[in-house]
Structure 1
Amino acid sequence: MLERLQKIIAHAGVASRREAETMIRQGRVTVNGRVITELGTKADADRDHVKVDGKLLTQAEPHRYILLYKPKEVMTTVEDPEGRRTVIDLVRGVHERIYPVGRLDYHSEGLVLLTNDGDLAYKVSHPTHGSVKTYNVKVRGVPDERLLDKLRRGITIEGKRTLPCDITRIKTTGRGDDEGNSWLEVRLREGRTQQIRKMFQALGHPVTKLKRVAIGPIADQRLTPGDWRELTKHEDKMLVTMKEPRPAKPRRSLRPASRKKTAAPKARRTRRS
């Protein structure tokens, strides 16, 4: 059956569809010995010899879906030319060729999804139908509602307008609601490089801390920096169908209310070297 090359590459677990498109443009993909650079090119995975960087695509590996709490000062990439730690370095004992879905900048922390399922990676990361990412953000000062409304509607950053987003106040660090610094919950559907930092910097309230706390319906308050676990089958299904969880009741602080413990997938801690 003829399929687009980027879809074949994604199915093989080599990269997400978006990354596969980049590989094709760069001339790193061949079909039956011929270099392909056209994104619309189709091939038959069962009959044609498709190679990426000279390596023949083989039968797809079993899909893996891993949720990692990325610490600060770790790259959200497979490898880093400067030799800095990457999210792949934190996930020990996984033999499949997994890669991170989307970005989380070097100085930020929080949840990152790693997988070898290219179709799911494309669906989660692409702005047109991607899942909403939720962040807890600490900014300097207390931005007024007028400024926050600007961000909610979208502002122009580096010549391109941001998509509308949701911003909710969590708390301030001062004695009163208009004193100290602010913690905010920001929910984005797109994910440009350092987008949240640039948004608040443009309004004069720079970000001092940033944590991603949810990827679509997937969240886990039990994970700490460096911990990771496999997604449950129920979580896999929620990502595939992209069903968002029911809105939580408004919170006044970052600390979750005490509640009875429920069974959860066991997290694995990265050993410090």
Structure 2
Amino acid sequence: MSNYDPHVPEGIRLQKVLAQAGVGSRRACEDLIARGKVQVNGRRVTELGTRVDPQTAIIHVRGKRVFLDDSHLTLVLNKPRGVVSTMSDPEGRPCLADFTADWDTRLFHVGRLDTDTEGLLLLTNDGELANRLTHPSWEVPKTYVATVAGQVARGLGRQLQSGVELEDGIVSVDGFTVKGIHGDESLVEIQLHSGKNRVVRRLMEAVGHPVKALVRTRFGTLQLGHMRPGTIKRLDGEPLAALMRMVEL
């Protein structure tokens, strides 16, 4: 249910909030509201007198999330191998906090990569975003590139797509591609939506091809691209909006 009442004096007029967020001029924002292009907390708003609290309101314009201030923070990290996916480590090993000192806010890591795995890892101060991106019901797709032992047989992809039984249930992949075979190793790309612990390593071990090196190259709508290991950047604009639309935020 919506948490605003357009008839109470608290808050700021919606068109002013939208204009301050860079959506357009005050008049253009009023036109968007009048034409039913604006939603506040999941409810379409057409009344120009509507007031909102910029700190709590979730606003969409034409289906795209509008961020009202700089308090929202989502970061993309290319986690290097050897870094633990926690914000601190009692053993003194490199951890995620080593990369986030420039941001003074509590951050949640969105899922985790095991210490020996590198690649795309999200951190955010938005607890609801972190929860949705990791909840199995949203089936967020992930892509990994793995170097595995042995020469992969042609029919392995069909086997993996049909499902492989692990100790905590059957897991299937959404896609499997052999990128190359070099001596007694194969380079493969794996797409799946399971978020189970060390799932790629356990899956490939179960079919006789233990993982030697593993990189996550894609998470949801985001791709690692040319980010170097240890690089971290703030996610904003359309890339952030697309990620949030995927989980209906």
Same fold, TM exceeding 0.5? yes
Matched, 1:238 2:242: yes
Closer, same or farther: CA 164–187 of 1 in aligned 2, 3 Å: closer
Matched, 1:168 2:177: yes
* 1:149 to partner: Cα distance: 1.9
Deviations along 1:95-139, one digit per CA (max 9) or x if unpaired, are: 010121001010010010000111111221112113211111111
TM-score (norm 1): 0.62
> Which one has a bigger Cα radius of gyration?
2
The CA distance in 2 between the partners of 1:96 and 1:153, in whole Å, is 43
CA contact (8 A) 2:181 2:187 kept: yes
Select the residue among 104, 120, 125 that pairs with 1:111. Answer: 120
Select the residue among 55, 59, 63 that pairs with 2:72. Answer: 63
The CA distance in 1 between the partners of 2:124 and 2:131, in whole Å, is 11
The CA distance in 1 between the partners of 2:200 and 2:236, in whole Å, is 29
Equivalent residue for 1:132? 141
* 1:188 to partner: Cα distance: 1.5
CA contact (8 A) 2:160 2:172 kept: no
Structure 1 residue matching 2:222: 3-state secondary structure = coil
CA contact (8 A) 1:133 1:187 kept: yes
Matched, 1:190 2:190: no
Deviations along 1:55-108, one digit per CA (max 9) or x if unpaired, are: xxxxxx921010001000101112223222111222221101012100101001
Unaligned runs of 5+ in 2: 4-69
Amino acid at match of 2:246: M
Structure 1 residue matching 2:178: 3-state secondary structure = strand
Equivalent residue for 2:7? none
Which has the higher mean CA deviation after the structures are superposed, 84-93 or 221-230?
Answer: 84-93
* 1:146 to partner: Cα distance: 2.8
Structure 2 residue matching 1:75: 3-state secondary structure = coil
The CA distance in 2 between the partners of 1:149 and 1:219, in whole Å, is 25
Corresponding pairs, count: 182
CA contact (8 A) 2:173 2:190 kept: no
Equivalent residue for 2:211? 207
* 1:195 to partner: Cα distance: 0.8
Q: CA RMSD in A?
A: 2.3
CA contact (8 A) 1:66 1:229 kept: yes
The CA distance in 1 between the partners of 2:97 and 2:139, in whole Å, is 23
Amino acid at match of 2:242: M
* 1:231 to partner: Cα distance: 0.8
The CA distance in 1 between the partners of 2:192 and 2:136, in whole Å, is 9
The CA distance in 1 between the partners of 2:120 and 2:79, in whole Å, is 6
Equivalent residue for 2:31? none
% identical equivalent positions: 34
Closer, same or farther: CA 213–164 of 1 in aligned 2, 3 Å: closer
Structure 1 residue matching 2:114: 3-state secondary structure = coil
CA contact (8 A) 2:119 2:224 kept: no
Unaligned runs of 5+ in 1: 4-60, 175-179, 244-273
* 1:155 to partner: Cα distance: 1.2
Deviations along 1:5-58, one digit per CA (max 9) or x if unpaired, are: xxxxxxxxxxxxxxxxxxxxxxxxxxxxxxxxxxxxxxxxxxxxxxxxxxxxxx
CA contact (8 A) 1:154 1:165 kept: no
